[in-house]
Amino acid sequence: MLNIVKPRHKIANLVIKDHVIRYVEVKPHDPFSIHKYGERELPSGVIHDGKILDRETLEIILEECVSEWKLKHRRIRFIVPDSVVVIRQIPLPNDLEEDEIRGYLFMELGATIHLPFEDAVFDYVILEKTEEKLTILLFAAPEQAVMSYADVLDVVKLRPIAADVSPLCLYRLYYAADQVKKDDHLLLVQMDVSAVNVSAFYQHKPVFMRHLLMEWQREQHDMKQLEELLQPFEDVYKEIERMMSFYRFSIHQGNEQIKRVLLTGDHPHLSSIYQSMQERFDVPIERLSDKIASVIDSRYHLAWGLGLKEGIHHVRRH
């Protein structure tokens, strides 16, 4: 999504969430080797649900990160906040040529193709193109939200060259680990400290995405009783079940269903969540394979997946 230039040199991969900033740098010719990485927690109130509320504080903290991690003037990729991303299947006129699609979308977004915001940045993939049918998968986000991050990065002497969305980055990592196949009906669940993001994938493409903000998490983060800490996830599990039902009956009319759930995220009790999901759901719950996951702590996996953005088809391990 949103490639701006082809990378030629080392690129840092930056993830900015409500609660944390992380970066990962992979070795240019060996994406399974982590060259550098770093993390800095953010105080409450700087970013909320992906929206920058205290730009001045964010810039100060980012400047310290840039200095500490020696990233000044570095090209970087960054993640568009899940909360502002829209993923939608859209039918287009079947007589459009592939090189005409982007121009058509520029003309029709906001006119015949409606989004929940006005000015959008977008990317797309072709899902189906026949003589009778042309369907794309559109990724869109409010331009203002994306540029608010790009502007902050510019101010702290970073050079943003590409933006991406988190489900694609994490799926890329599972793909590289050889844990997904084209005909899989998958649900990717990202359990983070500040939010939960759930997306369905089929034929290596996302079908839908749902973002759930976890307002309670910071207040209860230090509770001693693990059972009490994880209790709010009951609502998340119910929402996951609803999404699995939606996938089965609304999207596939009962003919297909989610066969596997891939669990990832930066929640400190992810292992306990994994166990409770195994007990609750009838489908297999899987995490990233030990061989791949052992390279770096799971909370860095999103930034690592962002680092696999270029040339993923050349790095897959069989």
Read off the pLDDT of residues 169-226 as tens digits, 9 standing for 90 and up.
999 999 989 999 999 999 999 999 888 999 999 999 999 899 987 765 444 445 455 6
In whole angstroms, what separates CA 216 from the centre of its chain? 22
State the greatest distance between any 2 C-alpha atoms of the chain, in Å, as a whole number.
61
- Both 57 and 149 in a single domain? yes
Chosen domain end from 142, 163, 189: 142
The pLDDT, as a whole number, for residue 254 is 93
What CA–CA distance (Å, rounded) separates 142 from 83? 11
Average pLDDT, the chain: 87
Chosen domain end from 94, 115, 142: 142
pLDDT tier, 278 (very low <50, low <70, confident <90, very high otherwise): very high
205 touches 185 (CB < 8 A) = no
Average pLDDT over residues 2-18: 71
Closest C-alpha to 115, from 95, 156, 144: 144
- Both 51 and 159 in a single domain? yes
- Both 106 and 168 in a single domain? no
pTM, whole model, 2 decimals? 0.86
HEC letters along 204-253: CEEEEEEEEECCCHHHHCCCCCHHHHHCCHHHHHHHHHHHHHHHHHHHCC
What CA–CA distance (Å, rounded) separates 264 from 246? 22
- Both 171 and 76 in a single domain? yes
Q: What CATH code is carried by the domain that includes residue 114?
A: 3.30.1490.300
What CA–CA distance (Å, rounded) separates 123 from 2? 6
- Both 283 and 192 in a single domain? yes
Q: What tokens were used for 240?
A: 């996951």
Residue 30: give the domain boundaries. Answer: 10-83+143-179+289-317
pLDDT at residue 35 greater than cutoff 80 = yes
Q: Does residue 3 lie in a domain region?
A: no
Instruction: Fill in the DSSP letter of residue 94.
Output: T
- Both 26 and 69 in a single domain? yes
- Both 44 and 118 in a single domain? no
pLDDT tier, 275 (very low <50, low <70, confident <90, very high otherwise): very high
Q: What CATH code is carried by the domain that includes residue 196?
A: 3.30.420.40
What CA–CA distance (Å, rounded) separates 72 from 157? 6
Burial letters for 265-279: b for 16+ Cβ neighbours within 10 Å, e otherwise? Answer: bbbebbeebbebbee
- Both 194 and 266 in a single domain? yes
Question: Which of 133-137, 231-235, 255-259 is the least confident region?
Answer: 231-235
pLDDT at residue 257 greater than cutoff 90 = yes
Question: Helix, strand or coil for residue 130?
Answer: coil
What CA–CA distance (Å, rounded) separates 222 from 230? 12
Q: Does residue 222 lie in a domain region?
A: yes
- Both 127 and 166 in a single domain? no
- Both 133 and 174 in a single domain? no
140 touches 120 (CB < 8 A) = yes
What CA–CA distance (Å, rounded) separates 130 from 150? 38
Between 168 and 229, the more confident residue is: 168
pLDDT in tens, 46-99: 999 999 999 999 999 999 999 999 999 999 999 999 999 999 999 999 899 989
- Both 256 and 305 in a single domain? no
- Both 148 and 164 in a single domain? yes
Q: Does residue 203 lie in a domain region?
A: yes
Q: Does residue 1 lie in a domain region?
A: no
The domain tally of the chain equals 3
Nearby residues of 218 by Cβ (< 8 Å), 6 or more positions away: 19, 44, 193, 194
Instruction: Fill in the DSSP letter of residue 63.
Output: H
Q: What DSSP string describes 159-194?
A: EEEEEEEHHHHHHHHHHHTT---TT-EEEEEEE-SS
Residue 146 burial by Cβ neighbours in a 10 Å radius (0-12, 13-18, 19+): buried
